């Protein structure tokens, strides 16, 4: 992708509340197992059945189905504890693929595990990926120094995109790896790294792919992302506190009509009310409000609190489904096809 393709367009304006969707038209998105595509070779997944189904879908829609995989779902800090392992203890990282394109949202400790998978998949072959960073708090950048493909191949290319309103990501990455905080110098990274500054609005990433962004309500700021293709719309809106009218309106506009909404549900409602106001996070009741008022089709609860065990998250999902049926909690390894 050329830098010139990152052209800005007009900022998005809220047009009012969206009517609730007709639930008869909503179908649960299928969680499936998929083989990674072979980028830069033109080869598809290894399963012949998957390739045939994908080919038919591509003829109809012009692009292969969007595939979403969760590599890190925890908020604040990694939690490698047995009572958390079913949903997972790595911090934020979500991978999106369609065709040979790779998009990555946030670089928490799940980014390290994704790097292992990509290195296993591509071996010595170069590949490229877009990486969108919502903000610079530790749980969203911790995995960067441990992402193996950054060190492996000088012909691989990673296009990092985030706001530089507080500082540039390039500087943040260098600072994170500087002495005395890290033993390996950033100069050891061989892969090409390009950094793009994006703000609230809409840009074209590649042919048939658009990105809409909006600021969320979080200390020092956090950016929400809306990835649009002909085959589906994904919204990634983590780290957002409710209660500010302007931000509440913006996040509902961002989520309008999305196929999948990944949304911050770190706290229980009672935790938030008692002692977490002003900390920059949401809860599952607000997540349900957002999905219903925006017309998004499916809600994925994300950024689980480090103190929330698998049993607590199970209870949250059960309670949320009393209000909106198409709710699930993000879990490491979970995959969704649109």
Each residue's pLDDT tens digit, 191-228: 999 999 999 899 999 989 999 999 999 998 999 999 99
Q: Which residue has the higher pLDDT, 250 or 37?
A: 250
Number of domains the chain contains:
1
Greater model confidence, 1 or 167:
167
Please check the confidence at residue 313 and state whether its pLDDT lies above 90.
yes
The answer to whether position 110 is within a domain reads yes
pLDDT of 303 reads 97
Average pLDDT over residues 43-51: 38
Q: What would the DSSP string read from start to end of 63-87?
A: SPPPEEEEEE-B-SS----GGGTTT
CB 129 within 8 A of CB 89: no
For the stretch 81-116, pLDDT in tens is 999 999 999 999 999 998 889 999 999 999 999 999
Q: What is the mean predicted confidence (pLDDT) over 169-191?
A: 95
CATH number reported for the structural domain that contains residue 100 in this entry = 3.60.15.10
pLDDT for the residue 13:
31
Q: Whose CA is closest to 271, among 261, 282, 258? A: 282
pTM assigned to the model: 0.82
In a domain, 183, yes or no: yes
Do the bridges between strand 201-206 and strand 209-216 make them parallel or antiparallel, or are there none, so unpaired?
Answer: antiparallel
Domain assignment present for residue 57? The answer is no
Give the chain's radius of gyration (CA, Å). 19
Give me the mean pLDDT over the 140-153 stretch. Answer: 97
| 72 within a domain of the structure (yes/no) | yes
Under the banding of pLDDT at 50, 70 and 90, the label for residue 31 is very low
Confirm whether 199 is domain-assigned.
yes
**Quick check: is 21 in a domain?**
no
CA dist 42 and 245 (Å) reads 47
For residue 46, being part of any structural domain is answered with: no
The domain of 90 spans 64-337
Residue 123 has pLDDT above 60, yes or no: yes
Burial class (CB in 10 A: 0-12, 13-18, 19+), 218: buried
| Bridge partners (DSSP) listed for residue 69 | 95, 335
Mean per-residue pLDDT, 119-127: 97
**Please, which pLDDT band fits residue 63 given cuts at 50, 70 and 90?**
low
Give the pLDDT of residue 272.
Answer: 87
∠ CA 67-71-74, rounded to 5°: 125
pLDDT of 15 above 50: no
**What mean pLDDT is reported for the chain?**
84
Listed in order, strand segments (DSSP E) in 181-267 are 192-197, 201-206, 209-216, 222-228, 233-237, 260-264
Q: What pLDDT is attached to residue 276?
A: 82
The answer to whether 36 and 228 have CB atoms below 8 angstroms apart is: no
């Amino acid at each position: 992708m050329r830098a010139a393709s990152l052209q800005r367009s007009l900022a998005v304006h809220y047009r009012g509340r969206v009517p609730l969707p007709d639930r008869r038209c909503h179908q649960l998105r299928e969680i499936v197992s998929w083989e990674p595509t072979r980028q830069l070779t033109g080869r598809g997944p290894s399963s012949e059945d998957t390739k045939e189904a994908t080919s038919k879908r591509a003829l109809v829609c012009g692009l292969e189905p969007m595939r979403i995989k969760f590599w890190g779902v925890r908020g604040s800090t990694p939690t490698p504890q047995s009572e958390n392992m079913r949903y997972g203890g790595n911090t934020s990282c979500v991978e999106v693929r369609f065709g040979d394109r790779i998009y990555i949202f946030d670089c928490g400790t799940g980014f390290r595990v994704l790097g292992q998978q990509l290195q296993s998949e591509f071996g010595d072959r170069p590949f490229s990926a877009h990486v969108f960073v919502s903000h610079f708090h530790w749980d969203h950048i911790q995995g960067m120094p441990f992402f193996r493909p950054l060190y492996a191949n000088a012909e691989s290319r990673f296009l990092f995109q985030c706001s530089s309103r507080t500082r540039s990501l390039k500087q943040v990455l260098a600072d994170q790896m500087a002495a005395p905080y890290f033993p390996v110098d950033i100069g050891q990274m061989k892969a090409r790294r390009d950094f793009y500054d994006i703000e609230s609005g809409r840009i074209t990433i590649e042919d048939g792919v658009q990105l809409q962004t909006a600021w969320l309500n979080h200390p020092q700021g956090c950016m929400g992302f809306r990835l649009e293709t002909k085959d589906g719309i994904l919204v990634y809106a983590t780290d957002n506190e409710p209660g500010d009218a302007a931000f509440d309106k913006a996040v509902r506009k961002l989520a309008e009509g999305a196929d999948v909404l990944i949304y911050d549900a770190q706290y229980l409602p009672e935790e938030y009310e008692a002692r977490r106001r002003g900390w920059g996070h949401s809860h599952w009741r607000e997540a349900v409000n957002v999905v219903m008022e925006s017309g998004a089709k499916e809600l994925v609860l994300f950024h689980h609190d480090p103190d929330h065990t698998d049993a607590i998250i199970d209870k949250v999902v059960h309670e949320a489904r009393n209000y909106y049926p198409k709710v699930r909690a993000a879990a490491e390894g979970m995959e969704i096809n649109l």
